[in-house]
């Protein structure tokens, strides 16, 4: 059965994460997703992929793990997703502990959506080499998996390198939370099959998702992986569009909410809940 979820830029001027999570759970949504930008460089040299001026929510977001930790404490069943965590900007040892801690505190409700990011200056402010971003992401994720699953974890790569370490807590979910890659780059399918558990694209109007899924299944076979999960940001609200995505195999459709006050957000949540109810 396809699950329906919500995502929102959790900003300082919008409905706050605790109320948002409580209202999402009350309406039966499976999960709540929040994105990440630690900051936005004032230079704005890197163009916004959306083709417009960069919306102000990009530099007003809460830290995703603080927001989701608060949401975890206020809910019982709602899954908690990073949509997406910019792994390239984070220390992998610290990040492994943050995700594992949230997974334990929430009782195993974390969905770890990851990405490499698009803003070159933002990455470079964190000391990352933008041209090597996918290599860095891969090493950090592989290192995180080692920390999650080994009592004494070690990793030796080009960008991540440490001798055996002890790091607890371990995640509640066996092997750690599902890692879902939010990307539509040319090599995304190889990357998902190599070191992730699912694909988490955005609903771009002209993107050929049927062809993409075929390529993902081919990559699975090449990597000897079991079928990987399919989730989508920016889920459509029309019934026929939802049915077509369900038929393609999408297991989770995530409706986008604007970063606004409760008077705007709650009626939209009601509308999305009614749409989701038709497809359960």
pLDDT tens-digit series, residues 80-97? 999 999 999 999 999 999
Name the CATH topology of 3-278.
TIM Barrel (3.20.20)
User: Distance of alpha carbon 42 from its chain centroid, rounded?
Assistant: 25
- 106-137 pLDDT tens trace: 999 999 999 999 999 999 999 999 999 999 99
> What three-state secondary structure class fits 85?
strand
- Taking 80 as the threshold, does the pLDDT of residue 160 lie above it? yes
Tokens 């390198």, located at residue:
161
- 261-273 pLDDT tens trace: 999 999 999 999 9
Tokens at 215, concatenated: 């390529």
Burial 18-41 (b: 16+ CB within 10 A, else e): eebbebbbebebbbbbbbbbeebe
- DSSP string for 112-176: EEEE--S-HHHHHHTT--GGGHHHHHHHHHHHHHHHHH-SSEEEE-SS-EEEEE---PPPSSTTS
- Taking 90 as the threshold, does the pLDDT of residue 66 lie above it? yes
DSSP state of 186: T
Q: In whole angstroms, how far apart are CA 259 and each of 58, 76, 99, 206, 212? A: 10, 24, 24, 25, 30
Residues with Cβ within 8 Å of residue 141, at least 6 apart in sequence = 87, 114, 179, 195, 196
DSSP state of 76: S
> Which helix (H) or strand (E) is 83 found in, with range?
strand 79-86
Rounded CA-CA distance 137/160 in Å is 10
> Which helix (H) or strand (E) is 275 found in, with range?
helix 262-278
Rounded CA-CA distance 280/276 in Å is 7
- Reported as a pLDDT band with limits 50, 70 and 90, residue 78 is very high
pLDDT of residue 95: 98
Ranges of each domain in the chain: 3-278
Rounded CA-CA distance 154/111 in Å is 24
DSSP state of 98: H
- 179-226 pLDDT tens trace: 999 999 999 999 999 999 999 999 998 999 999 999 999 999 999 999
DSSP state of 52: S
Tokens at 161, concatenated: 């390198």
Rounded CA-CA distance 125/42 in Å is 12
Percentage of residues in the chain having pLDDT higher than 70? 100
Count of other CB atoms within 10 angstroms of residue 5: 25
- Reported as a pLDDT band with limits 50, 70 and 90, residue 51 is confident
Tokens 């409905």, located at residue:
15
> Are 91 and 147 contacting, i.e. CB atoms less than 8 angstroms apart?
no
């Amino acid at each position: 059965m396809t699950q329906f979820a919500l995502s929102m830029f959790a900003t300082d001027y919008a409905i706050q994460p605790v109320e948002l999570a409580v209202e999402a759970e009350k309406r039966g949504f499976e999960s709540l997703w929040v994105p990440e930008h630690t900051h936005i460089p004032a230079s704005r040299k890197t163009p916004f992929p959306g083709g417009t001026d960069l919306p102000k929510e990009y530099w007003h977001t809460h830290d995703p793990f603080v927001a989701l930790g608060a949401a975890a404490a206020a809910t019982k069943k709602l899954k908690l997703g990073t949509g997406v965590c910019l792994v390239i900007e984070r220390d992998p040892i610290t990040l492994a502990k943050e995700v594992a801690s949230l997974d334990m505190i929430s009782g195993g409700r974390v969905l770890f959506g990851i990405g490499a990011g698009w803003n070159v200056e933002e990455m470079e402010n964190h000391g990352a080499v933008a041209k090597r971003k996918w290599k860095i992401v891969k090493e950090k994720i592989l290192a995180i998996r080692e920390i999650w699953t080994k009592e004494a974890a070690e990793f030796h790569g080009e960008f991540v390198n440490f001798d055996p370490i002890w790091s607890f807590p371990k995640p509640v979910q066996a092997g750690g939370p599902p890692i879902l890659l939010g990307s539509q780059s040319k090599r995304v399918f190889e990357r998902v099959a190599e070191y992730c558990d699912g694909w988490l694209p955005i609903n771009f109007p002209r993107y050929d998702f049927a062809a993409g899924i075929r390529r993902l299944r081919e990559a699975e076979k090449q990597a000897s992986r079991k079928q990987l999960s399919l989730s989508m940001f920016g889920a459509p609200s029309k019934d026929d569009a939802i049915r077509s995505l369900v038929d393609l195999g999408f297991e989770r459709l995530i409706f986008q909410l604007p970063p606004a006050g409760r008077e705007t957000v709650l009626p939209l949540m009601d509308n999305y809940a009614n749409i989701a109810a038709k497809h359960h």
